[in-house]
C-alpha cells in the first residue's frame, strides 16, 4: 500500500530558558493583569441573526485573562493589529514551543467540537494499539454510527490494519474507523472513559466526552483552549504527527471473490494542508484536524512553522458567510501570530499535564530505550538530536529521486518534555510530503 507521507526534517536544538515545575503553579496563580486588553471587534456578516454570547466568566486555566469574554491581546511596540475578518465564536493562537498564548477570543467557551475531538481520541488510543495489528470487522462494530457521519468506507467481514484505520481517522475523519478502533480498545463506553481521563490529565477541563468520534451529542463540549492543549500533546507523538500531516493515501476497498482486493485514494480534509475548495495550502502547515457538524459549525486546529517559530491555532464556529471561513480565519491568525511573535505580551499559557507537576508519568526519552525523560537535561537532548539526525539521513537516502507530492514547509516541532514537560528541545515537524511506500 502506498501513501503520501511526510519526511522528517531535523534542525539543531535552539536553547530555550528552562522552565521548572513552578510553571504549573504560576499558571494556577496568575494574578489579574492590570493592563486593559485590546479588543478587536469580530466580523459578523449575518447581522440579522442573533449570535449567542459567551459566559461572563470562564475557566482561568492558563491565566486569569483567558477567563474573560471577548478578545484578549496585549500589543507591544511594532506589533501588528489583529485581523478584522475574524468571526469565530472562539479562537486562540499560541506558541507551540513556549506555550505562550499570543492572543485569544473566548478561548475557554465550552462549545461542541465536532471532529476536532478526534485529536483526543487519537492521542488517547493511538499508543494502545499496534499499527501492524490486523482486524476483521464485525457488523456490530459499525452499529450506532450517526446519520450523516463522515465515513472512510470500512466494510464488515473485511480485514484492515490498525494503520489503515488511523489513516481513515486522520484523512477522511471516518467515524466508521473510530467505531472499529474503539471496539478494539475495549468498547465505546470504555473509550469515552479513557478519553475523559486523558483530557483531565492534560488539564483540558472544558472538555466533556460523550461520543469519541465528535458526532453531535448532548453535553459534549470542548474549547479552543482545550483543543490546542490536546493538539500540542498529540504532536509529541511520531505517529500522530505523521498521520495528521499525510496529504493522501491508498485505502483498502472491497474484496470480491476470486479477484484481487480493490483499493482507492483518500485525501486529507484539512484544506490548509492540501488546498481545496478555493483554499490555498498554507505554507508551513503540518496538521492537525478539522470538523463540521450541525451544532458545532466548522472547527479547526492547526500547527504551522515559519523559520524557527511553531504556532498552534484553533478556530471554532465562525459566523462569516465566506466559503471555508474556518480555514481562512485560521490562516489570518497564523499570519498575524508569526508577525507578532516577540512583539506582544502573552495573555496566558498552555499548561502542562497534571503529572508534570509531580514528576509522575514521565514520558520515554526519544531514542532512550524506554528510560524516563525526567531529569535528562542537555545530555539527553543532545542524544535525541544525534538520533534524529541519523534517522533523517537514512530517510533522505531512501527518498532520493522520489518526486515531491506536496510541500508542507516547516522543519521542527517542539518536544514539550525536556525534563518532565518542559520546553527546551524539539522534534521533527514534517518538512515535505513525499510519495513513497508505507507498510
Please answer whether residues 267 and 274 qualify as being in contact, where contact means their C-beta atoms are separated by less than 8 angstroms: yes
Distance CA 118, CA 167 (A): 12
Is 173 among the catalytic positions? Answer: yes
Distances from the Cα of 58 to the Cα of 62, 174, 275, 292, 385, angstroms: 12, 32, 35, 24, 40
Q: What is the DSSP string of 400-419?
A: TTPPEEEE----EEEES-SS
Q: Which three cell numbers stand for residue 59?
A: 475557566
Closest CA to 282 of 291, 273, 295: 273
Residue 115 annotated in active site: yes
The active-site residue out of 90, 150, 173, 245 is 173
Cβ atoms 87, 43 nearer than 8 A:
yes
Which triple of cell numbers denotes residue 350?
Answer: 498552555
Taking Cα atoms as reference points, which of 120, 168, 123 lies closest to residue 3? 168
Assign 3-class secondary structure to 121-181.
HHHHHHHHCCCCCEEECCHHHHCCCCCCCCCCCCCCCCEEEHHHHHHHHHHHCCHHHHHHH
Per the annotation, the verdict on 256 as an active-site residue is no
Short-list 383, 400, 115, 79, CA closest to 230: 115
Cα angle, residue 121 at apex, residues 361 and 436 outer, rounded to 5°: 100
Catalytic residue among 115, 182, 233, 245: 115
Catalytic one among 118, 289, 328, 374? 118
Cα–Cα dist 46/203, whole Å: 35
| 115 touches 292 (CB < 8 A) | yes
Terminal CA-CA length for the chain: 7
Q: What DSSP letter does each residue of 260-274 carry, written as one string?
A: PPPEEEEE-S-HHHH
Question: Mutual orientation of helices 162-172 and 175-184 as an angle, nearest 10°?
Answer: 140
Pick from 391, 385, 369: which is nearest to 418 by CA? Answer: 385
User: Which residue, 290, 253, 251, 284, is CA-closest to 269?
Assistant: 290
* Active site members: 115, 118, 173
Amino acid at each position: 500500500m502506498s501513501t503520501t507521507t511526510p519526511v522528517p526534517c531535523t534542525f539543531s536544538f535552539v536553547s530555550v530558558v528552562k522552565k521548572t515545575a513552578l510553571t504549573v503553579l504560576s499558571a494556577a496563580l496568575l494574578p489579574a493583569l492590570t493592563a486593559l486588553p485590546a479588543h478587536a471587534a469580530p466580523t459578523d456578516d449575518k447581522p440579522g441573526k442573533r449570535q449567542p454570547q459567551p459566559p461572563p466568566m470562564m475557566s482561568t486555566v492558563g491565566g486569569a485573562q483567558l477567563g474573560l469574554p471577548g478578545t484578549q491581546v496585549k500589543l507591544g511596540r511594532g506589533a501588528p493589529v489583529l485581523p478584522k475578518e475574524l468571526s469565530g465564536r472562539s479562537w486562540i493562537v499560541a506558541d507551540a514551543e513556549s506555550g505562550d498564548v499570543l492572543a485569544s477570543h473566548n478561548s475557554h467557551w465550552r462549545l461542541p467540537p465536532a471532529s476536532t475531538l478526534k485529536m483526543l481520541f487519537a492521542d488517547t488510543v493511538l499508543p494502545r494499539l499496534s499499527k501492524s495489528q490486523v482486524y476483521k470487522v464485525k457488523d456490530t462494530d459499525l452499529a450506532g454510527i450517526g446519520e450523516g457521519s463522515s465515513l472512510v468506507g470500512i466494510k464488515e467481514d473485511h480485514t484492515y490494519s490498525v494503520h489503515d484505520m488511523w489513516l481513515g481517522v486522520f484523512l477522511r475523519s471516518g467515524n466508521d474507523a473510530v467505531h472499529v478502533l474503539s471496539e478494539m480498545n475495549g468498547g465505546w463506553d470504555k473509550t469515552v472513559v479513557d478519553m475523559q481521563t486523558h483530557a483531565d490529565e492534560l488539564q483540558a477541563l472544558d472538555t466533556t466526552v460523550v461520543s469519541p468520534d465528535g458526532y453531535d451529542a448532548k453535553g459534549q463540549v470542548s474549547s479552543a483552549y482545550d483543543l490546542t492543549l490536546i493538539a500540542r500533546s498529540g504532536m509529541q507523538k511520531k505517529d500522530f504527527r505523521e498521520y495528521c500531516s499525510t496529504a493522501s493515501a491508498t485505502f483498502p476497498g472491497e474484496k470480491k471473490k476470486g479477484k484481487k482486493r480493490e483499493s482507492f485514494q483518500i485525501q486529507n480534509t484539512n484544506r490548509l494542508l492540501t488546498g481545496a475548495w478555493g483554499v490555498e495550502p498554507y505554507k508551513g502547515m503540518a496538521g492537525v484536524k478539522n470538523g463540521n457538524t450541525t451544532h458545532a459549525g466548522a472547527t479547526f486546529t492547526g500547527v504551522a512553522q515559519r523559520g524557527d517559530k511553531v504556532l498552534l491555532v484553533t478556530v471554532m464556529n465562525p459566523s462569516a458567510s465566506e466559503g471555508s471561513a474556518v480555514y481562512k480565519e485560521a490562516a489570518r491568525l497564523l499570519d498575524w501570530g508569526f508577525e507578532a511573535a516577540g512583539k506582544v505580551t502573552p495573555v496566558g499559557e498552555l499548561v502542562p499535564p497534571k503529572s508534570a507537576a509531580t514528576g509522575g508519568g514521565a514520558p520515554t526519552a526519544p531514542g532512550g530505550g524506554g528510560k524516563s525523560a525526567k531529569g535528562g537535561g542537555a545530555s539527553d537532548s543532545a542524544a535525541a538530536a544525534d538520533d534524529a539526525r541519523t534517522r533523517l539521513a537514512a530517510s533522505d537516502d531512501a527518498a532520493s529521486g522520489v518526486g515531491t507530492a506536496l510541500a508542507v514547509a516547516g522543519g521542527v516541532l517542539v518536544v514539550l518534555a525536556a525534563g518532565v514537560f518542559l520546553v527546551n528541545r524539539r522534534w521533527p515537524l514534517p518538512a515535505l510530503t513525499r510519495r513513497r511506500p508505507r507498510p
